[in-house]
Structure 1
């Protein structure tokens, strides 16, 4: 089990845990953030198989003092139900409110230094909470450095030995980390 506490450039924070399971791996996290001045809590869990392909996604969003909203449409994409045609080729999920889901393609693609790959992911857009397919490129720059590109956005990502983000250029940085 590896735990990391991230600080966001917008003042938010997140506690993320990566656990090995008998079927693969599971990322769980709690994000504390805000939307239009309202405090928000987002809890998520993403399960992957031994190849790091997404098998299950759970996301719950709560406004401070308000009810929790489970995003069932997102979970349905990995429930065995037929996916919408535009999302059928998506192996990975990208939850835009956390750097945790960058771990999934980094581990699944297993790029060599100097290699890159373009993938299509099911992207959960924050704060709209819409799911849409997007193309992303991961390029491995060094032992633990990657360049991530989506549309006209580009950032360098530094990861630990598990592929968990330590520094996401301009957006997130790890402030504490433990491994058991």
Structure 2
């Protein structure tokens, strides 16, 4: 499945593809963000059968090339092979430049609830635990409430039959 999202707040586009692999799913993407802090990025996001992150490989150009690997470990997360004790309570990854991560949270929660996300800020690549809440508004409609890094931020989300975002209020919109 291929999905394209355009940014609504600044110039930008993401071309995303997800397909089954031997251990679950493999999502690949290229993002061009032409906003105030312009950057290009690609990622390979490996998921298990339940759409939980196994590994996320990031390749960021802003203006120099930087790479990062985030891996789920039995007792937390590894970043470039190092244990990150500050991230041990994080349940899933939230990559700031894509609405795909909202699909992971929605699938994890399976209804209204809250989780602590491993928030990856772009283009800084700063990693922070961040509390988030999801509220059900109706069929395939959700309300995202940030209780952490961007406390006070809220947005309505509409997802498709696969729980992929098609409309993220004020930030992203799926395009043909």
CA-to-aligned-CA distance 1:46-100 (integer Å, 9 cap, x gap): 112122221101110114xx5531124x458357967322211212100001111
Q: Judging changes above 3 Å, is the alpha-carbon distance between structure 1 residues 62 and 75 closer, same or farther for their aligned structure 2 residues? A: farther
Superposed CA RMSD in Å reads 2.1
Q: Judging changes above 3 Å, is the alpha-carbon distance between structure 1 residues 81 and 18 closer, same or farther for their aligned structure 2 residues? A: same
Partner of 2:21: 21
Point out where structure 1 has 5 or more consecutive residues left out of the alignment.
none
Q: Partner of 1:51: helix, strand, or coil?
A: coil
- Give the drift of 1:165: 0.7
TM-score, with structure 1 as normaliser: 0.83
Q: Is the 8 A contact 1:123 1:134 kept in 2?
A: yes
| Cα distance in 2, alignment partners of residues 79 and 18 from structure 1 | 23
- Give the drift of 1:127: 2.6
1:75-94 equivalences under 5 Å are 75=71, 77-78=77-78, 83-94=83-94
| Cα distance in 2, alignment partners of residues 45 and 16 from structure 1 | 10
Does the alignment pair 1:68 with 2:65? Answer: yes
- Give the drift of 1:35: 5.5
Does the alignment pair 1:140 with 2:157? Answer: no
| Cα distance in 1, alignment partners of residues 164 and 34 from structure 2 | 23
| Cα distance in 1, alignment partners of residues 142 and 36 from structure 2 | 32
CA-to-aligned-CA distance 1:75-129 (integer Å, 9 cap, x gap): 5835796732221121210000111111111112222xxxx11100100012321
The aligned length equals 167
TM-score, with structure 2 as normaliser: 0.85
Point out where structure 2 has 5 or more consecutive residues left out of the alignment.
none
| Cα distance in 2, alignment partners of residues 160 and 129 from structure 1 | 29
Partner of 2:173: 173
Q: Is the 8 A contact 2:4 2:15 kept in 1?
A: yes
